[in-house]
Amino acid sequence: MAGLEDLYREIILDHYRSPRNRGELPVPPAHKVEGFNPLCGDEVVLFLDVDPETDTVRDVKIAGQGCSISQASTSMMSAAVKGKPLSEVRQLIRAFKALMSIHESKLEGDGGDGSDLAAELAGVRLGDLEALQGVVKFPVRIKCATLAWNTLQQALDETAQTQA
């Protein structure tokens, strides 16, 4: 049985209590995307400003409300992607989602060795984000952790469409 300290690591509680990059950005140039977790009412509002010249995240701000996991994950995501090239951001999204599912498949005992997922993780520096891997031991909370990242994915897709 996983304990609370597996889920609520100190770094997560720190981001929950003092979220980074809270606020709003003018739209445009920023792109605004809202993400919802209909099961628990978590809400993430993401303002993503991409520099089309350099294809980097010029700035990011977050708003919304929800449980500690959703809000900490959002804060950590914002800190991780700010100033990063989009290629790196996309890699980070894949790596984070792999982190959220690699243990899940092991837990479910579906026989998968997670090698494809491991490949996604190889060479990606997750840093603080690794603190969120304890979430996979609490399956109902995985959606809380991935909400920010799905919202980010949506923002990237919509930004790409706008700029295309």
Q: Which residues bind other proteins (CB under 8 A)?
A: 1, 3-4, 7-8, 13, 16-17, 39-43, 65-69, 138, 141, 144
The stretches of 18-140 forming alpha helices (DSSP H) are: 68-81, 86-108, 115-121
Q: Taking the complex as a whole, how short is the minimal distance between the CB of residue 2 and other proteins, in angstroms? A: 10
Nearer residue to other proteins within complex by CB, 12 or 129: 12
CA 81, CA 79: separation in Å to the nearest integer?
6
Nearer residue to other proteins within complex by CB, 1 or 164: 1
Nearer residue to other proteins within complex by CB, 6 or 59: 6
Nearer residue to other proteins within complex by CB, 3 or 26: 3
Q: Taking the complex as a whole, how short is the minimal distance between the CB of residue 113 and other proteins, in angstroms? A: 30
CA 33, CA 142: separation in Å to the nearest integer?
20
Q: Taking the complex as a whole, how short is the minimal distance between the CB of residue 38 and other proteins, in angstroms? A: 9
DSSP per position, 102-115: HHHHHHHT-S---H
Are 13 and 52 in contact, with CB atoms under 8 Å apart? Answer: no
Q: Taking the complex as a whole, how short is the minimal distance between the CB of residue 67 and other proteins, in angstroms? A: 4
Are 57 and 65 in contact, with CB atoms under 8 Å apart? Answer: no
Q: What are phi and psi of 153, to 5 degrees?
A: -60, -45
